[in-house]
Amino acid sequence: MKRLLASLAMIFAATAATAEEVTTFTLDNGMEVVVIEDHRAPVVVHMLWYKVGSADEPVGASGVAHFLEHLLFKATDVLESGEFSATVAANGGSDNAFTSYDYTAYFQRIAADRLELMMQMESNRMNNLQMTPEDIVTERNVVLEERNQRTENSPNALAREQFTAALYQNHRYGVPIIGWKHEMEQLELEDTQAFYDLYYAPNNAVLVVAGDVEPAEVLALAEQYYGVIPAEDQLPERIRPQEPPQRAERRITYVDPRVSQPFLVRNYLAPERDPGAQEEAAALVYLAELLGGSSFTSDLGQALQFDTQTAIYTNASYGGSSLDKTTFSFAVVPADGITLSDAEAAMDQVIADFMEAAIDPARMESIRTQLRASQVYALDDVSGIARRYGAALTQSLTVEDVQAWPDVLQAVTPEDIKAVAAKVFDRNQSVTGWVVPSQEEAM
Amino acid sequence: MLRLALSLCLTIIASTARAEIDIKEVTSPGGINAWVVEEPSIPFIALEIRFRGSASLDLPGKRGATNLMTGLLEEGSGEMSAQEFQTAREGLAASYGFRAFDDTLSISAQFLTENKAEALALLRQALVEPRFDQDALDRVRAQVLSGVASDAKNPNDIASAAFDAAAFGDHPYGSSIDGTVESVSVLTREDMFDAYRNALTRDRVFVSVVGDITAEAVGGMLDDLLGALPAEGPPLPDDVAFGLEGGITVIDYETPQSVALFGHAGLKRDDPDFFAAFVMNQVLGAGGFESRLMTEVREKRGLTYGIRSFLVPKFHAEMVFGSVASSNATIAEAIEVTRAEWARMADEGLTQEELDTAKTYLTGEYPLRFDGNAEIAKIMVGMQMIELPPQYVVNRNDYIDAVTLDDVNRVAAELLQPDDLHFVVVGKPEGLESTQ
Separation between Cα atoms, residue B199 and residue B6, nearest integer Å: 29
A-contacting residues in B 284-323 (Cβ below 8 Å): 287-290, 295, 298-306
The 8 Å CB, 24+ separation contacts for A83-88 are: A84/A121, A84/A125, A85/B288, A85/B289, A85/B290, A86/B289, A86/B290, A86/B357, A87/A117, A87/A121, A88/A118, A88/A121
Task: Inform me whether the pLDDT recorded for A18 exceeds 90.
Answer: no
Are the beta carbons of B153 and A296 separated by less than 8 Å? no
> Residues of chain B with pLDDT > 70: what percent?
97
Separation between Cα atoms, residue B295 and residue A89, nearest integer Å: 14
- Residues in chain B closer than 8 A to A309 (CB atoms): 138-139, 142
* 3-state SS record for chain B: CCEEEEEEEEEEECCCCEEEEEEEEEECCCCCEEEEEECCCCCEEEEEEEEECHHHHCCCCCCCHHHHHHHHCCCEECCEEHHHHHHHHHHHCCEEEEEECCCEEEEEEEEEHHHHHHHHHHHHHHHHCECCCHHHHHHHHHHHHHHHHHHCCCHHHHHHHHHHHHHHCCCHHHCCCCCCHHHHHCCCHHHHHHHHHHHCCHHHEEEEEEECCCHHHHHHHHHHHHCCCCCCCCCCCCCCCCCCCCEEEEEECCCCEEEEEEEEECCCCCCCCHHHHHHHHHHHHHCCCCCHHHHHHHHCCCCCCCEEEEEEECCCCEEEEEEEEEECCCHHHHHHHHHHHHHHHHHHCCCHHHHHHHHHHHHHHHHHHCCCHHHHHHHHHHHHHCCCCCCHHHHHHHHHHCCCHHHHHHHHHHHCCHHHCEEEEEECCCCCCCCC
Name the closest residue on chain A to residue B155, using Cα atoms.
A153
| Mean predicted confidence (pLDDT) in B119-138 | 98
Q: Which member of A336, A365, A373 has the closest CB to residue B112?
A: A373
Name the closest residue on chain A to residue B75, using Cα atoms.
A296
In 3D space, the residue among B263, B251, B240 whose CA is nearest the CA of residue B420 turns out to be: B263
pLDDT score, position A9? 33
Beta bridge partners of A50: A104, A205
A-contacting residues in B 110-129 (Cβ below 8 Å): 110, 112
Separation between Cα atoms, residue A290 and residue A357, nearest integer Å: 12
CB neighbours of B86 closer than 8 A, spacing ≥ 6?
A294, A296, A297, B74
> Residues of chain A with pLDDT > 90: what percent?
94
Residue A185 falls in the annotated catalytic set? no
| A124: helix, strand or coil | helix
Are the beta carbons of A369 and B298 separated by less than 8 Å? no
Task: Inform me whether the pLDDT recorded for B58 exceeds 80.
Answer: yes
Whole-number Cα distances in Å, A99 to A52, A67, A198, B292:
9, 9, 17, 26
Q: ipTM above 0.90? A: yes
Amino acid at position A314, single letter: T
| Mean predicted confidence (pLDDT) in A247-261 | 97
Q: Which member of B85, B255, B287 has the closest CB to residue A258?
A: B255
Beta bridge partners of B71: none
Amino acid at position B222, single letter: L
B-contacting residues in A 78-107 (Cβ below 8 Å): 81-82, 85-86, 89-96
Name the closest residue on chain B to residue A304, using Cα atoms.
B139
- Counting one residue from chain A and one from chain B, the pairs whose CB atoms sit within 8 A come to 195
Specify whether the CB–CB gap between B435 and B364 falls below 8 A: no
B-contacting residues in A 105-164 (Cβ below 8 Å): 109-114, 137-146, 148-149, 152-153
Separation between Cα atoms, residue A312 and residue B170, nearest integer Å: 31
B258 contacts chain A (CB < 8 A) = no
A-contacting residues in B 367-406 (Cβ below 8 Å): 367-368, 370-374
Are the beta carbons of B93 and A370 separated by less than 8 Å? yes
pLDDT digits (tens, 9 = 90+) for A279-338: 999 999 999 999 999 999 999 999 999 999 999 999 999 999 999 999 999 999 999 999
> How many residues can be counted in chain B?
436
Burial of B70 (0-12, 13-18, 19+ CB in 10 A): buried
Q: How many CB atoms lie within 10 A of CB A130?
A: 13
pLDDT band at B9 (very low <50, low <70, confident <90, very high): confident
Separation between Cα atoms, residue B11 and residue B19, nearest integer Å: 6
Are the beta carbons of A306 and B14 separated by less than 8 Å? no
DSSP label at A76? Answer: B
Burial of B6 (0-12, 13-18, 19+ CB in 10 A): middle
Beta bridge partners of B52: B104
pLDDT score, position A20? 84
Amino acid at position B289, single letter: F
In 3D space, the residue among B369, B24, B45 whose CA is nearest the CA of residue B210 turns out to be: B45
CB neighbours of B209 closer than 8 A, spacing ≥ 6?
B34, B35, B36, B37, B45, B46, B47, B48, B218, B377
* Chain A interface test: which of B283, B353, B371, B400 (most A C-beta within 10 Å): B371
pLDDT band at B220 (very low <50, low <70, confident <90, very high): confident
CB neighbours of B272 closer than 8 A, spacing ≥ 6?
none
Question: B205-211 and B33-38 as β-strands: parallel, antiparallel, unpaired?
Answer: parallel
| Mean predicted confidence (pLDDT) in A126-145 | 97
pLDDT digits (tens, 9 = 90+) for B33-57: 999 999 999 999 999 999 999 999 9
Are the beta carbons of A109 and B368 separated by less than 8 Å? yes
pLDDT digits (tens, 9 = 90+) for A28-38: 999 999 999 99
CB neighbours of B53 closer than 8 A, spacing ≥ 6?
B103, B105, B198, B199, B201, B204, B233, B236
Separation between Cα atoms, residue A281 and residue B355, nearest integer Å: 52
Are the beta carbons of A305 and B17 separated by less than 8 Å? no
Q: Which member of A86, A145, A294 has the closest CB to residue B304?
A: A145
A73 contacts chain B (CB < 8 A) = yes
Q: How far is A50 from chain B (nearest CA, A)?
A: 23
- Residues in chain A closer than 8 A to B331 (CB atoms): none
Are the beta carbons of A142 and B298 separated by less than 8 Å? yes
Task: Inform me whether the pLDDT recorded for A12 exceeds 80.
Answer: no
Burial of B186 (0-12, 13-18, 19+ CB in 10 A): exposed
- In the sheet that holds B44-52, the strands lie side by side as B3-13, B18-27, B33-38, B205-211, B44-52, B104-112, B95-100
Task: Inform me whether the pLDDT recorded for B232 exceeds 80.
Answer: yes
pLDDT top residue among A79 and B290: A79
A-contacting residues in B 150-179 (Cβ below 8 Å): 150, 152-153, 155
pLDDT digits (tens, 9 = 90+) for A365-423: 999 999 999 999 999 999 999 999 999 999 999 999 999 999 999 999 999 999 999 99
Separation between Cα atoms, residue A308 and residue A316, nearest integer Å: 18
Measured at the alpha carbon of residue B305, what is the angle toward residues A127 and A54, in degrees to the nearest 5?
50
Q: Annotated catalytic residue: which of A20, A37, A69, A183?
A: A69
- Residues in chain A closer than 8 A to B364 (CB atoms): 91-93, 111
- Ramachandran angles phi, psi of B164, nearest 5°: -60, -40
| Mean predicted confidence (pLDDT) in A189-216 | 98
Separation between Cα atoms, residue A357 and residue B12, nearest integer Å: 58
pLDDT band at A6 (very low <50, low <70, confident <90, very high): very low
pLDDT band at B302 (very low <50, low <70, confident <90, very high): very high
CB neighbours of A352 closer than 8 A, spacing ≥ 6?
none
Burial of A127 (0-12, 13-18, 19+ CB in 10 A): middle
Name the closest residue on chain A to residue B148, using Cα atoms.
A260
Are the beta carbons of A376 and B83 separated by less than 8 Å? no
Separation between Cα atoms, residue A335 and residue A68, nearest integer Å: 44
A333 contacts chain B (CB < 8 A) = yes
A-contacting residues in B 338-357 (Cβ below 8 Å): 357
Specify whether the CB–CB gap between B64 and B187 falls below 8 A: yes
Amino acid at position B27, single letter: T
Specify whether the CB–CB gap between B209 and B46 falls below 8 A: yes
> Could you give the residue ranges of the DSSP H alpha helices within A79-152?
83-90, 115-127, 133-147
Task: Inform me whether the pLDDT recorded for A228 exceeds 50.
Answer: yes
Q: Which member of B91, B287, B368 has the closest CB to residue A89?
A: B287
Are the beta carbons of A137 and B370 separated by less than 8 Å? no
- Ramachandran angles phi, psi of B302, nearest 5°: 65, 30
- Residues in chain B closer than 8 A to A213 (CB atoms): none
Name the closest residue on chain A to residue B258, using Cα atoms.
A153
pLDDT score, position B2? 59
Average pLDDT, rounded, for chain A: 94
pLDDT band at B88 (very low <50, low <70, confident <90, very high): very high
Separation between Cα atoms, residue A347 and residue A352, nearest integer Å: 9
Q: Which member of B43, B82, B299 has the closest CB to residue A82?
A: B299
pLDDT score, position B16? 66
Task: Inform me whether the pLDDT recorded for B412 exceeds 70.
Answer: yes
Burial of A16 (0-12, 13-18, 19+ CB in 10 A): exposed
> Residues of chain B with pLDDT > 90: what percent?
92
Specify whether the CB–CB gap between A103 and A51 falls below 8 A: yes
Separation between Cα atoms, residue A116 and residue A112, nearest integer Å: 9
Q: How far is A312 from chain B (nearest CA, A)?
A: 6
B-contacting residues in A 261-280 (Cβ below 8 Å): 261
Specify whether the CB–CB gap between B27 and B3 falls below 8 A: yes
Are the beta carbons of A369 and B91 separated by less than 8 Å? yes
| Mean predicted confidence (pLDDT) in A137-147 | 97
Instruction: Record the pTM.
Output: 0.94
Name the closest residue on chain A to residue B427, using Cα atoms.
A153
- Residues in chain A closer than 8 A to B158 (CB atoms): none
